[in-house]
Amino acid sequence: MLGAVSGELMHGGLIPFSRRRAMQFLAGQLAVTPVLLTAPGSAQAAESPAPYPFVFNQSLLDTFMARRGGAIGTAGRAAVAFRCDHHLNRFKAAILPLHRKYAIPVTIAAMSQMTAVEKGPAGSELMPFPLLQKTALENGFEVANHSATHRDAATDLRLTEEIVEAHWSLARSLPKLPIELFVPPGVGGTNYRGFDGGASWSSFQKYLAGRLITQQHALSTGYMPGYWSMTGQPLLNMGRSHVRIDDAGVAWRGKDFVSAARRQHKGVCFMYHPSALDAAGLAALESLFAWCAAERDAGRLDILTVGGLMLARIDSSSRHDLLGGDQGFRKGWNGWNGLSAKWSLRAEQGGYCARRGAASTPLSKDCPLGAYAGSTRQLRMIVQSGTGVRFKLEVFDAESPARFSTAKYVTVRGSGTNTVLHQYITLPLTGTRTVRVQLTPVSGGELLLQAPQLLAA
């Protein structure tokens, strides 16, 4: 039964959830026998071998890792992730512009019924699912299952509705986004019949809620305190908690949390509720965004999605690059259309650059998606201009831009110094086979492009 369910989710063959099927699925979960799996980590000693007290879905975990090309190496840098918990009306109006301004991805914890159960200033009805999907693709956002209604579930059937049916519903509503993570809601009451938000690893096996979560999702956050492991082993972050930055005083201390994580060679996940952020809170949040972006641009910090942080590995520099690795132009055009577009190659400051000429046309490269479809990516490149230039940076469906397209206009001052650019996107899970990365000069003169990458994030 579990294999059939996973297959339906992965291949899009979803059918309406019925009470009969819910009870059939539930019967299978109630019959699950705890299995102890040996893995390199434990709640007591995260770096030494010990049995995990929960059963995870190996197929979903393998797909999750393959989508990102394996562990995400940060070359000694700490990493952060940001999480937004629903209330998307306020997010759309006040916080989305900040994520765009500083090029910062976010993982949105979404309820499958949030547009119906959340109304008004603290609601979500102004961000219907088609708009949420479009926004996520264009800005490199990730969406996680945050239950159906954010309410307690005191029976087996209600648990199945809040976890399983919610997952299926989100997958139907957001067909171009993989729903791989669960973010437990704070519900009170019975706390999902003792699950208590995933306060320990054993919660994911001992309680029905935990078993439903692990069999429907690759991974889950929770309420286990502490900074995030950066060993490249995502199960070590199963149930890991967050730093809540709704309060302006906590948000102003955000850099202190990052500094503490750095000292431990770990990462940190920040979480906010948009409706809880007043004017002071927004100012503090923007200050934290600006500081994180500056640290990233200086090469001292990586900013990832929650899924990316699960896979981060601080002692490695290996990170999947859909544009073909970190060779840049050292081995020629490397699949870019430089010759036909009338750009030239030249050595510049120890690197190899593509240089725009007077007759140059848009520079581009096509990237087949394959198993990487659905992953969030960080488009990173170094540009330079001695004269000043404005150009359009695009990623779009190479066969039909109407299916997927995102663009950003960039102005580079004529300083002759390197500028590092970042743009995050999420590759469509379905409907797109190949994306094209394209750079089109709009005005100005000289433009040098170095080390373009489309990195797992």
Amino acid in the structure at residue 413: R
Higher-confidence residue: 115 or 330?
A: 115
CATH code, 344-456: 2.60.120.260
Tell me the CA distances in angstroms from 252 to 51, 257, 293, one per residue in order: 39, 10, 15
CB 104 within 8 A of CB 140: no
Share of the chain above pLDDT 70, in %: 87
Q: Where are the domains of the chain?
A: 2-313, 344-456
pLDDT surpasses 70 at 257: yes
Q: What one-character-per-residue DSSP string does 220-274 give? A: E--SB-SPBP-BS-GGGGTTB--EE--SHHHHHTHHHHHHHHHHTT-BEEEEE-G
Q: How confident is the model at residue 75 (pLDDT cuts 50, 70, 90)?
A: very high
Q: How confident is the model at residue 52 (pLDDT cuts 50, 70, 90)?
A: very low
pLDDT surpasses 90 at 21: no
pLDDT surpasses 80 at 81: yes
pLDDT surpasses 50 at 27: no
Q: Report the distance separating Cα 330 and Cα 105, nearest Å.
A: 30
What's the confidence (pLDDT) of residue 32? 42
Closest CA to 198 of 225, 178, 217, 223: 223
pLDDT tens sequence across 107-143:
999 999 999 999 998 999 999 999 999 999 999 999 9
pLDDT surpasses 50 at 342: yes
CA 418 centroid distance within chain: 27
pLDDT surpasses 90 at 11: no
The reply to whether 2-313 and 344-456 are identical in fold is no
What's the confidence (pLDDT) of residue 351? 75
Quickly name the fold that domain 2-313 has: TIM Barrel (3.20.20)
For 202, the token pair is 């054993």
pLDDT tens sequence across 347-356:
876 678 999 9
